[in-house]
Structure formats: structure tokens, C-alpha cells
Structure 1
Amino acid sequence: MREVVRYNWPLYAAGGLAAGAGLLLSRRLPRPAAGLARAGAAAAAALLASSTAATWWVYDRSELRTFDWLAELLPAGPGEHLVLSSGLDEASRPVAARWPQHPQTVVDLYDPVLMTEGSIRRARRHVPPAPGTLPGRHDRLPVATGSADTVLAVFAAHELRRTGDRHGLFAECARVLRPGGRLVLVEHLRDAANTAVYGPGAQHFFSRQDWLRAAAGAGLHLAAQRRIGGLVTALVLTAPAPAPAPAPTAAAPTGKHLAP
């Protein structure tokens, strides 16, 4: 939670200032307006409290960081896998520690032109990419076609704010996956639960349908879904498996085998 507040401190500061300003104004305004100012201050304080509590619960107390949820979704493990990050990689180390025998490649997609949120710039300054991380683009991953069993995108894809860029990333994920491979997408969704605790901040998230449209455009299909900590969703999207080879058929008899 401390790290989230550190990277998003302008938003928390704005919430605190809004609450304080509302209380100060309520002392100087006439009664009807003063009531509205107090109500606005209370709403700002409640939103600040709910978002902080939700962040603490999800990132510090839930199973998100243990990756137990990934073990449930992928009982055999991730296999040869690709970890995508967008400036802040918090998945590669715990996944590698849990499945040390499974080959891992880490690709950082950070692009300051496309990823304009101040929080990701601050996070990147404090947490540089791990040694061995490959630089990449959302539309050109530095990985061979059909080389990965799993692609992990944990809080990475939403940093691409333009629809076409997200669709391009999904197309690249489909390219690098082997037939039957899996893209595991982990994100907050723009839904009722996240809106209730994050308020207008939930507009930074994308809806489940947005992600499924991007998956369908890349030929990926939803295979499983799991809620993590009540506010985060993991979607397992699979690449098509190869069609089974047709069974051999008996050859039709030729004329030379027929009785005269």
C-alpha cells in the first residue's frame, strides 16, 4: 500500500485537499451552501479512506502476491513463459521463485510516449527493470513465434490507453504462444466493485468486455476466470489448439482388382 500511495501521491493529496477545502468553506458559506460543502468534504474523505483500505487489502493482505491463484489456474505451472511489464515488474521474481524449473523471459514494454500516467513514471524511477529484462514494444515482442506456453500480463496491459495499441499487444501475444498456449491477464476491471471503492479512479480501468473484445480480435478464447481479493480479475485466454489430423480412409479399389 505504501508503494501505491508513493506512486500515486498527487491523487491522494488532491483527495485530502478537497476534504480540507470543503470543511474550511463550510465555515464561511451560508447554511444551504455550507451543507453542500460539508457533504463534498465527507464524500472526498470517504473515497480516500475506501480506496486506501481497498489497496491495503488487495496488495498487502490478499493472495495476489502469493500467486496461489496462478497455481490454481495453471496446475502444471506456466511452462516456458513470458512476463510482460509496463515499467513496473512485480511478477517475474515471485513466479520464477515458485517455478524455478520453468524457463522465463521478461519483456518491458514501457514507452513514455504511449504510457503517460505519472504514477508509472514515478514507479519506474524507483524500481528499475530486473537484470536480463528485454526491451520491447507492444506491437513487436522480441520473442520467436510459437515459442511460449504462457504469457503473463500482470497489471501491464492497461497502461496502453489506446484501443488499437491493446489490440496490437494481444495479437503479438497470440503470435508468440504455442497452439493451446495461454495468456494470463490480471487487471482491475471497470465494474461495480471497483467503482464503489475507487470512485472516479475506476475509469482508469477497462471493462471485462473491452478485454474480451481485444482477445477475440487476436483469436484468443476465454478458458477460465478468477477473482483475486474481490477487486482484481485474472482471465485465462487460450490460443487455438491445432485441429486433429483426419483419420486415414481406406483406398477405393481400382479397376485392376475387379473381376473381369
Structure 2
Amino acid sequence: MTDAGRPHRPSGVREVVGYNWPLYAAGALAAGGGWVLARWLPRPAARLVRAGALTAGWLLAASTAATWWVYDRSGLHGYAWLDDLLPEGPGRHLVVATGLDEASRPVAARHPAAPQRTADLYDPALMTEGSIHRARRRVPPVPGSLPARPGALPAATASLDSVLAVFSAHELRRPADRAALFAEAARVLRPGGAFVVVEHLRDAANSAVYGPGALHFLPRSTWLGHAAGAGLRPAAERRIAGLVTAFVFRRAGA
């Protein structure tokens, strides 16, 4: 429950636009302002400006529609996809958050018998994106969240069945911090345990709808590289709503 006594509502297009409103405002200004400006320019320049305005308008509309589809209409927040990836269930698990935790509650609701802890890696000195600061102000940490660092997760060695990082690992912008998180996940997992990483990827599909915004995402090869560096093997991979990828990396053994 939230402080107001109402169930928490996972972020949808309204919230995502709110977290990223400067980007949406810039897109709207580029689209509308460019179209108006073109009326006062010579024909060759006007064509270029109108083309830019149309491109900005397309990206604004496409990104909004894609966000609505992924966060409001798909099964992302239902976590049935997690049951498919972890048929044994999450077991004793740790949810890793970096400012906006919307995994702990639905996973706990779906698997009430599975012991859960939440590690909060949020550090405003390292996470400089305005969107994550705005999200943090709007959605407070889940009660009982434990402050942590990428290289120091609050769990004993080989004590967990799974670690879940849902839209959180990409907020660690320094490669060394992401590598430390993967190494820590490998440390705290039991042999055969699963590290679940869910992210948008910097790929053709996300670039087509998010344009330059897709640069905030990381390529698939980056996540595979971090897993390999930590000694975690790829075990499963699933696309959600066409734009989100869920990886399962497992610790050797078992």
C-alpha cells in the first residue's frame, strides 16, 4: 500500500512521460516550432526544417505509443513471463533497485511464499539522469529496502535462489559498477541460481521508436559481456512486448 492507503500503480505512459518530461517537451517544441519556422524560410531550407519537424513528431508519437503498449497494455507488470523463465519460482530472492523499484511488490504478490529482500542501490552522485531523480521523488522505496552498493549486496555468499534486476542495471552508467553488480550477483547466488536482468536494448526496434533516447539503453552484447565476466552463463532469454528483453543468467553448478 502507498502512504495514501491505495495499492501501488506500476508506471504507465503517464508516469514515464512525467519522469522524462523535458525530452517530450523538447520533441514537441522541435515538431511544432520547426513546422511554424518553415513558413518563413526559403523553399530548400523550409523542406529540410519540415523534414526535421516531421521526424521529431514521428519520434514523439512513436515513443509515446510504444511506452503505452509496453507499460500499460502488455503483460510486463503481470510477471507471468517470470514464471516461464523461472519455472521453479524465484525462491529466496533479492530484488535490486536503483531508484525506482516496481518489481518487489508484484513479485511478492505473485509468489507470497518466496522470501524476498530488496537492495536499493540509488546514489544521486552516481545516477545523474534527471528522469531517475524525478521517479525517485514520485515513487518512494519499498518499506524495508536495504541500502546497498553495486559491489556489496546485502546477502551471504551462495544464499539466494535468484536475483532480479528489472530496469535497474542500466542506471549504473559506469561499466565498472555494472561489472561489480554482476560479480556480486554471482557471489550471492547458490550453484544453479538465476540472475534475471530485464532491460530495453539499444537495438533496431527500440531505436526506431525511441530515436536518440535509445542511446540510454545498452546493447545486448554489453549484458552478455558482463555475465561472462562474472562467470554466469546465459540460460534463457525472452522478448516482452517486442521492445523489452528478459535475460536469465545462471551460476554454474547444481
User: What TM-score, normalized by structure 1, do the two folds share?
Assistant: 0.92
Aligned amino acid, residue 189 of structure 2: L
Residue in structure 1 matched with residue 182 of structure 2 by the alignment:
170
Distance apart, 1:143 and its partner CA: 1.3
Residue in structure 2 matched with residue 255 of structure 1 by the alignment:
none
**Which whole-Å CA distance do the structure 1 matches of 2:152 and 2:114 have between them?**
24
Does 2:156 match 1:144?
A: yes
Residue in structure 2 matched with residue 37 of structure 1 by the alignment:
49
Secondary structure of the corresponding residue to residue 70 of structure 1: helix
**Which whole-Å CA distance do the structure 2 matches of 1:6 and 1:65 have between them?**
19
Does 2:230 match 1:222?
A: no
Residue in structure 2 matched with residue 157 of structure 1 by the alignment:
169
Q: Deviations over 1:195-235 (max 9, x none)?
A: 11111111110011000000000000000000000000000
**Which whole-Å CA distance do the structure 2 matches of 1:222 and 1:148 have between them?**
18
Distance apart, 1:42 and its partner CA: 0.6
**Which whole-Å CA distance do the structure 1 matches of 2:182 and 2:143 have between them?**
25
- Which of 132, 137, 142 is the matching residue for 1:125? 137
Residue in structure 2 matched with residue 198 of structure 1 by the alignment:
210
**Which whole-Å CA distance do the structure 1 matches of 2:16 and 2:234 have between them?**
30
State the percentage of identical aligned residues: 69
> Cα RMSD (Å) of the superposition?
0.7
Aligned amino acid, residue 130 of structure 2: G
**Which whole-Å CA distance do the structure 2 matches of 1:231 and 1:129 have between them?**
26
**Which whole-Å CA distance do the structure 2 matches of 1:34 and 1:94 have between them?**
50
**Which whole-Å CA distance do the structure 2 matches of 1:144 and 1:115 have between them?**
26
Does 2:90 match 1:90?
A: no
Aligned amino acid, residue 92 of structure 2: E
Residue in structure 2 matched with residue 12 of structure 1 by the alignment:
24
Secondary structure of the corresponding residue to residue 164 of structure 1: helix
In the alignment, structure 1 segments of 5+ residues that lack a partner are: 243-260
Aligned amino acid, residue 235 of structure 1: F
Q: Deviations over 1:113-135 (max 9, x none)?
A: 11111000000011110111101
In the alignment, structure 2 segments of 5+ residues that lack a partner are: 1-12
Count, aligned residues: 242
Residue in structure 2 matched with residue 48 of structure 1 by the alignment:
60
Residue in structure 1 matched with residue 127 of structure 2 by the alignment:
115
Runs of 4+ that moved beyond 2 A: none
User: What TM-score, normalized by structure 2, do the two folds share?
Assistant: 0.94
- Which of 106, 109, 112 is the matching residue for 2:118? 106
Distance apart, 1:12 and its partner CA: 0.1
Q: Deviations over 1:1-29 (max 9, x none)?
A: 10000000000000001111211210110
Aligned amino acid, residue 83 of structure 2: A
- Which of 50, 53, 65 is the matching residue for 2:77? 65
